[in-house]
Amino acid sequence: MASFQALKQQRARRGAGAASAGQARAAPAPAATPAPADAAPQPACASEEAPVAAQELVAEPDAPEAASTQAFESAATMAQLPACGSRAESTSYRLRGELEVRRTEASGRSIWWAPTSVKSATAGTTLLAVSPHVAVLSSAHLDSRCALCFKTADEAIEALPHTASGSSSPRLQRCSGCRTLHYCSAACQRADWPLHRQECAALVAYAASAASSAKGQTQRVASEPGTSVRALARLLWAGQKKGADWMEPVHNMQSNRGKMDSQQLEPLGTIAARLAFFMGVTLRPDAEPDEERSSAARARLAALGLASSAQLLDFVCQYATNSFTAASSDLSPLGVAVAPEAALLNHSCVPNACVVFPFGPGAREGSLRVVAIREIKPGEEILTSYVDLSDCYAKRRQTLAERYLFACSCAMCKHARRRAPPKAGRAAWLDPREAQWCSRACGGWIASPLTGDETAAPVSASCSKCGAPRAQPDTSAQARQSGEQALERAERFLDTNEPEAAWQTLQRSIRVLSAVMPPSGYPLLALMRCAQTALIELAGSSDASEEKLDEATRLGLAICAGMQAAGGAVFCAAHPARAVAMATLGKLLIADAQGDGSQAQHSCLASPPRLPQAGMERALAGRAMLVQAHEELLGAFGRDTQGGAVGATVRSALQSLDAELSLLAAR
């Protein structure tokens, strides 16, 4: 297992919808069960090895297999730790406003809508607004965004009053201490300094150590410890300053460590070891005498509010289960955030709420919002999705098992497992993510044979329209698999700012899959969204930008069709991912209003949708799309924020379009 799940998770959710995380559903506080025998680590003081092996200092996604738990105490010691989440074992308590935390048999500890009146929460109601305990940029964005407000240099200038914009330089300032973090302004740097002070010194020491480890090695060695370690360290340093009351909800988050096997624990152990080294808990072996190392490390841990190295590992496990993807206002993943209150939310594949950052995750009071996207009746549990809703059942099941260690039993998953024959008189509901085109090309759908769950009933599928059976042999499984691989590669290219490579990687898979399945199919929808992101970046910089815009617009039409499939049963109206996709399509139609659309035969889509006639027809189609998008954005990011930052851009796009149109009419 090479990389930390949280980072996989981030990549898997590029622009994919709301950030989400939380404790496992239906999971009582983990019992203090002993770790499996093969996970038993050696006490640090008894080991000949350095607490942090040199190979652990490589970049996080490439972290090699390392006997990383060696810095930790015996399994017996770990097992004696009290279980986490001891607060409110049996009672309910009011969280904030009209929310209640309850503990139930079926759901464990979670958040419920409990208004004092009988009123339901409607889509667009902000249920919870909190400031995350910490929010940090992921390593990929450290050079291009402000470490405090998460803005790029251009975004920071746009946010300034117009009079000041000319005087600012369009560049971020690098911290002269660590030369790692950047800031958009002196104000952001000053505001971040109380926390960055310790981090800055640690980054300097870490980079020096990494450089000396790198000597004679061919592998690339990262000069900073990675997103997770920076987030965890900030959390502990902030806890030192703010005190035990502030940290209590963090230490009460669910850990799931008791449910993990050694393979799942290993990458977390690597992170814990790197965290201990980064924070100066464990030093390089030559830095202090052997006999003092263990007790000195223990004292330094205690100063951070942790009783033992086993509790440090617990802390990392809590983070792994409970951290959120800190997404931009338009849902691109930028980093991670820890917000213990929101982490109490349980998961459903048919969520009634979403976790969003309407104005981005940067320093701003109440930046993390939980917004209702469906009606929630009094006494209903508030449920968000921890996974990308465009994932098929098998993929959702895999993600939930690997990162959150539970099996979902929502209505959607139950249906997928049962494959129940339709009740008499009612049309069978076919999950649009699992659908394939009828092989007779009648336009009907057939259920895909892929379930990824041995316990699921076998599929006996025929076309929803003409009744034809599925073609044999069915090659869609291979196409799906290579599509998944292409998606992973393309997302890495986007992370490293190589949109052309991402676009090249995606085209073939999109062509193959769009011939086999409707745009709602898995993983076609995710591939198209990734390709659209790449094309929009390319259209801004490359030549042939009109061609790129045309193709991005065609993809936009297919993406919106895919998200609205099956009457919005998967992405309901007001789901943030759907609202943002519609806003993007509206803007593309307007930006591309003069395009000639002549390249349709070169489209990556097997049967590309027709673009509205260039000129007025396309501009008006864009306008209609923006109006609809605005309504959904209010639902997705909250009426109280007027649809967040994306809502504001849509209103201003509509304004300038209407000004142009009235000019034309006046002529």
Please choose, out of 117-125, 185-193, 379-387, 421-429, the segment that lies near Zn ion by the rule CB under 5 A: 185-193
Q: Would you say 412 or 549 has its CB closer to Zn ion? A: 412
Nearest distance, CB of residue 197 and Zn ion, angstroms: 8
- Residue in 356, 408, 447, 506 binding Zn ion, rule: CB under 5 A: 408
Establish if 377 lies at the interface with Zn ion (CB under 5 A): no
Establish if 463 lies at the interface with Zn ion (CB under 5 A): yes
Establish if 400 lies at the interface with Zn ion (CB under 5 A): no
Contacts with Zn ion: how many residues (CB under 5 A)? 22
Nearest-5° Cα angle at 545, 660 to 493: 125
- Residue in 438, 517, 534, 590 binding Zn ion, rule: CB under 5 A: 438
**Number of residues in the chain:** 667
Nearest distance, CB of residue 67 and Zn ion, angstroms: 32
- With beta carbons less than 8 A apart as the criterion, state whether 431 and 452 touch: no
Q: Would you say 57 or 438 has its CB closer to Zn ion? A: 438
C-alpha closest to that of 375 among 121, 126, 128, 571 = 121
Establish if 461 lies at the interface with Zn ion (CB under 5 A): no
Nearest distance, CB of residue 446 and Zn ion, angstroms: 7
- With beta carbons less than 8 A apart as the criterion, state whether 392 and 412 touch: no
Per-residue buried b or exposed e for 540-560, using 16+ beta carbons within 10 Å of the residue's own CB: eeeeebbbbbbbbbbbbbbbb
Neighbours of 254 (CB within 10 A): 25
Rounded Cα–Cα distance for residues 561 and 550 (Å):
17
C-alpha closest to that of 314 among 274, 272, 282, 273 = 272
Establish if 629 lies at the interface with Zn ion (CB under 5 A): no
- Residue in 1, 79, 191, 468 binding Zn ion, rule: CB under 5 A: 468
- With beta carbons less than 8 A apart as the criterion, state whether 488 and 11 touch: yes
Establish if 539 lies at the interface with Zn ion (CB under 5 A): no
Please choose, out of 27-35, 121-129, 442-450, 489-497, the segment that lies near Zn ion by the rule CB under 5 A: 442-450
Letters for 591-620 (x = contact with Zn ion by CB under 5 A, - = none) are: ------------------------------
Nearest distance, CB of residue 58 and Zn ion, angstroms: 22
- With beta carbons less than 8 A apart as the criterion, state whether 64 and 293 touch: no
Rounded Cα–Cα distance for residues 178 and 207 (Å):
9
597 Cβ contact partners less than 8 Å away, ≥ 6 residues apart = 550, 611, 614
Establish if 407 lies at the interface with Zn ion (CB under 5 A): no
C-alpha closest to that of 367 among 334, 389, 390, 400 = 334
Nearest distance, CB of residue 396 and Zn ion, angstroms: 6
Letters for 333-352 (x = contact with Zn ion by CB under 5 A, - = none) are: ----------------x---
Nearest distance, CB of residue 403 and Zn ion, angstroms: 14
Please choose, out of 139-147, 449-457, 548-556, 616-624, the segment that lies near Zn ion by the rule CB under 5 A: 139-147
Nearest distance, CB of residue 584 and Zn ion, angstroms: 25
- With beta carbons less than 8 A apart as the criterion, state whether 414 and 396 touch: no
- Report how many helices (DSSP H) and strands (DSSP E) the chain contains, helices first: 19, 15
Establish if 147 lies at the interface with Zn ion (CB under 5 A): no
Please choose, out of 49-57, 180-188, 279-287, 510-518, the segment that lies near Zn ion by the rule CB under 5 A: 180-188
Rounded Cα–Cα distance for residues 23 and 254 (Å):
6
Residue 367, amino acid: S
End-to-end, the C-alpha distance of the chain in Å comes to 66
- Residue in 129, 140, 200, 297 binding Zn ion, rule: CB under 5 A: 200
- Residue in 135, 312, 410, 577 binding Zn ion, rule: CB under 5 A: 410
Output the DSSP codes for 62-116: GPPP--GGGGS--HHHHHTSPPS--TTSS--EEEETTEEEEEETTTEEEEEE--S
Peptide bond into 523 cis (omega under 30): yes
Establish if 413 lies at the interface with Zn ion (CB under 5 A): yes
- Residue in 71, 95, 134, 146 binding Zn ion, rule: CB under 5 A: 146
- The one-character DSSP state at 221 is B
137 Cβ contact partners less than 8 Å away, ≥ 6 residues apart = 145, 147, 150, 227, 334, 335
Letters for 284-313 (x = contact with Zn ion by CB under 5 A, - = none) are: ------------------------------
The helix, strand and coil proportions of the chain, stated in percent and rounded to the nearest 5, come to 50, 10, 40
Establish if 171 lies at the interface with Zn ion (CB under 5 A): no
- Residue in 129, 134, 149, 527 binding Zn ion, rule: CB under 5 A: 149
- Residue in 88, 299, 457, 466 binding Zn ion, rule: CB under 5 A: 466
- Residue in 444, 595, 622, 635 binding Zn ion, rule: CB under 5 A: 444
Binding site residues, Zn ion, CB under 5 A: 146, 148-149, 175, 177-178, 184, 188, 200, 349, 408, 410, 412-413, 438, 440, 442, 444, 463, 465-466, 468
